Amino acid sequence: MKTGKFLYSQKVAPYVFVLPFILSFAIFWIYPLITAFTMSFQKITPTTTDWVGFTNYAKLLKDKVFLLAIKNSATYMFFTLVLLIPFPMIFAVLMDSKIVKAKGVWKAILYMPALTSVVISGMLFRLMFTEYKTGQMNLITQALGLGTYKWLKNGWSGMLALLVLACWRWTGVNMLYFLSGLKAIDPALYEAADIDGATPVQKFFRVTLPLLKPTTIYVLTISVYAGLAMFLESYMLWAGNASPNNIGLTIVGYLYRRGIEKNDMGYACAVGVVLLIVALIINFAQLIMNGTFKKEED
């Protein structure tokens, strides 16, 4: 009975409920993070483990393939931010207005790609961007009199394929985030703006955009990490981790190459630590610039 009273007490019960999360967070996030950080200072082979200090990090600074992977991931992240924040926001505003009819149908259509497996999506887009005449993209260029193109064998067109895939999969998801933010805005503010004679454009920039700031910051934060950590889309689009001249190689792809394909886990862990640090720096910088850590004035 004493044990039951202890578990059901108001002071202990909250800790009992959060304990599963704390344990899973510690086992599946904190422990692997500490282990990976430790392994990044080691040279690991199937039979031996040697402490090498900062040797792995020093090699990274001179590794041209790693620097190319950073460039590819940064480029992908930048363009996904440019495309997958403003356009979903505009779509959400339209969905929340009286202009669009059959809103449920459009929401389902836009969200449906997110339910599709990345593996299936990558295979479909590989067929679309194939260099053969039967590919959908080449059918379009042929209809325009531009001939065929080797989409997945050139840098800019390969990045275009990745961005089209990203927009197809995530536009609907980000739109739903912004829709939830719009539902939190008091309709009385729009009524007051109408009384003052504000145009739809003025209401968007003076009312909607400022009040959507918390949602925008959230979408921006998760998009930064998602852009830098992208791997499976590239892997499936090029049917492996060996794109021509590494045009589709990402940071996580390079981590996979060194850790799994070349069995150099110490070096791969160093790549992972650098990825984490870069993502944290970018996100903390944008959170500071957006005033997230500022104390509200009384």
Residue 224 tokens read as: 């930064």
Contact between 167 and 153 under an 8 Å Cβ cutoff? The reply is: no
Residue 44 backbone phi and psi in degrees, to 5: -110, 125
Contact between 211 and 185 under an 8 Å Cβ cutoff? The reply is: yes
Please report, in tens digits, the pLDDT of each residue of the chain (298 residues total).
455 565 566 777 777 788 889 999 999 999 999 999 999 999 988 788 889 989 999 999 999 999 999 999 999 999 999 999 999 999 999 888 888 888 888 888 888 998 888 999 999 999 999 988 888 999 999 999 888 889 999 889 999 999 999 999 999 999 999 999 999 888 898 889 888 888 888 988 999 999 999 999 999 999 999 999 999 999 999 988 888 999 999 999 999 999 989 888 999 999 999 999 999 999 999 888 887 777 655 4
Residue with tokens 């792809």: 253
Residue 257 backbone phi and psi in degrees, to 5: -65, -45
Contact between 181 and 95 under an 8 Å Cβ cutoff? The reply is: no
Strand partners, 49: 44
Residue 116 backbone phi and psi in degrees, to 5: -80, 140
Name the fold adopted by 54-289.
MetI-like fold (1.10.3720)
Question: Closest Cα partner for 226 from 289, 266, 298, 167?
Answer: 167
Q: Where are the domains of the chain?
A: 1-39, 54-289
Amino acid symbol at 170: W
